[in-house]
Structure 1
Amino acid sequence: MSQKKAGRAPGRPKGNTDSRALLIGAASALFMEFGYEPVSLNQIADRAGVTKASIYYYFNGKSELFTASVTEMMGRIAMYTRQLLGQEGTLRERLVKVTAAKMAVTHVEFESMMREAIDSLSETQRREIREAEHGIHVVLAECFAEAAARGEMRGGEDPLLLAHAFSALLMVGGRDTGGDGRDNLPERIVDLFWHGAGPSALDMK
């Protein structure tokens, strides 16, 4: 980040408004709604209610702002996921809450957005984003490991592998698959994760 030193550098916002937070919020919303390529710095500045020069006071350019907005957003997702998983109820019920919360937000598919952005990002920026994404998987893995220790999930599975599997189902749930609609979709996604796609004991009789 290019924080400036003494005096008020060109583009430095006036007053006490936290323009960086406004820019992060505006950029996160626009990138998640439209993807990386279609969003311009002018759009972000307009959405945040600041000048384009203010962006360059805090960030070197679009890729740096994208990295900051995505990593901070993932940090918030990890924190909120931990809060939901820490609530009362069975693990299945809490996973439904996590799934419903994710699906309540309109967004582009994350991997598609990353494919758009990847050539514009430095190796360091790519690593920062992947590490932030990994933080969400760690929250889920810790929950699954604790559930296995309590006997609420089958033991012997790699908790981090389960976390990645659950996250993959959440991404699929955000797409329009042309199926029978989205009624009870959070419950259906969690049931697919919870029971798998194999036949039940009842089906095999």
Structure 2
Amino acid sequence: MSPTEGKLKRSPGRPKQETDGTPMRETILNTASRLFMELGYEPVSLKMIAGRAGVTKASVYYYFSNKAELFATAVIEMFVRIRMRTKAILDADGDLKERLIRLARVKLSASHTDFESMMREAEPSLSEIQLQGIRQAEHGLHGALDEAFRAAMVRGELAEGDSMLLAHAFSALLMLGNRERLGDRKPTAEELSSELVELFLNGAARH
């Protein structure tokens, strides 16, 4: 069962597509994803999403019964998109370090809140099915990293080890991008990407 099941009955009359040809549901979801990732769960309202998307609040309710349903759907579809983008970067040419830096730069260049903090805010409003859907989608993202790290072990780019643990460790390192400053420093996304990948691959010990 998907997180969008159990909706309230919709009134007849499907909203029109936007003038640029983008389906309205996609516009609403993309806008919701950006707002939730920028601001967290609590500060975002359906009215805010509708206003930023340039649609009516009634149009939002046509597709989503409430904020929790919109949040769950937006986050799940966001993870699917991120997994596809992640896999494309990791499957591209270049050695592992170059591809990880490229991936980190994309991640750190986007404005985002701490995902686990956002989930703690949202959890009381979400059903068990919605929570499971989000965690499964998140696991799919870690799965893309896991596949890349296992392949790197086969090629000898990484030492043999737990590739899924490495996937979670790399994701955790990228969460440092949520910080505006690191002590007295305010590194750019490009600088921080290189430094975090270097730390991930070589550690802090002197070699």
TM-score normalised to structure 2 length: 0.89
CA shift, 1:124, in A, is 0.9
Match of 2:90 in 1: 85
Alignment partner of 1:142 is 2:147: yes
Q: How many angstroms apart in 1 are the aligned matches of 2:54 and 2:122?
A: 24
Q: How many angstroms apart in 2 are the aligned matches of 1:35 and 1:186?
A: 24
Structure 2 residue identity aligned to 1:185:
L
**Match for 2:35 among 22, 30, 34?**
30
* Equivalent residues in 2 for 1:124-203, closer than 5 Å: 124-155=129-160, 157-179=161-183, 180-183=185-188, 184-197=191-204, 199-201=205-207
Runs of 4+ displaced beyond 4 Å: none
Q: How many angstroms apart in 2 are the aligned matches of 1:178 and 1:85?
A: 27
1:72-128 superposed Cα distances (whole Å, 9 cap, x missing partner): 111111000111111111101100000000011111111111111111111111111
Q: How many angstroms apart in 1 are the aligned matches of 2:16 and 2:134?
A: 30
Matched-pair contact (CA < 8 Å) for 1:3–1:58 = no
**Bigger Rg, which one:** 1
Q: How many angstroms apart in 1 are the aligned matches of 2:117 and 2:123?
A: 10
Q: How many angstroms apart in 1 are the aligned matches of 2:9 and 2:14?
A: 8
Structure 2 residue identity aligned to 1:165:
A
Percentage of pairs with the same residue: 52
Match of 2:79 in 1: 74
CA shift, 1:185, in A, is 0.8
**Match for 2:14 among 12, 15, 20?**
12
User: Structure 2 regions of 5+ residues with no counterpart?
Assistant: none
Q: How many angstroms apart in 1 are the aligned matches of 2:164 and 2:147?
A: 8
Question: How many pairs were matched up?
Answer: 196
Q: How many angstroms apart in 2 are the aligned matches of 1:90 and 1:3?
A: 50
Structure 1 residue identity aligned to 2:76:
T
RMSD (CA atoms)? 1.8
Cα distance change, pair 72–15 in 1 and its aligned pair in 2 (3 A): closer
Cα distance change, pair 154–65 in 1 and its aligned pair in 2 (3 A): same
1:12-63 superposed Cα distances (whole Å, 9 cap, x missing partner): 3135762111110110111111111001100111112211111221111000
Q: How many angstroms apart in 1 are the aligned matches of 2:202 and 2:13?
A: 55
CA shift, 1:177, in A, is 4.5
CA shift, 1:132, in A, is 0.6
Q: How many angstroms apart in 2 are the aligned matches of 1:103 and 1:127?
A: 26
Matched-pair contact (CA < 8 Å) for 1:11–1:56 = no
Structure 1 residue identity aligned to 2:199:
L
Q: How many angstroms apart in 2 are the aligned matches of 1:120 and 1:4?
A: 20
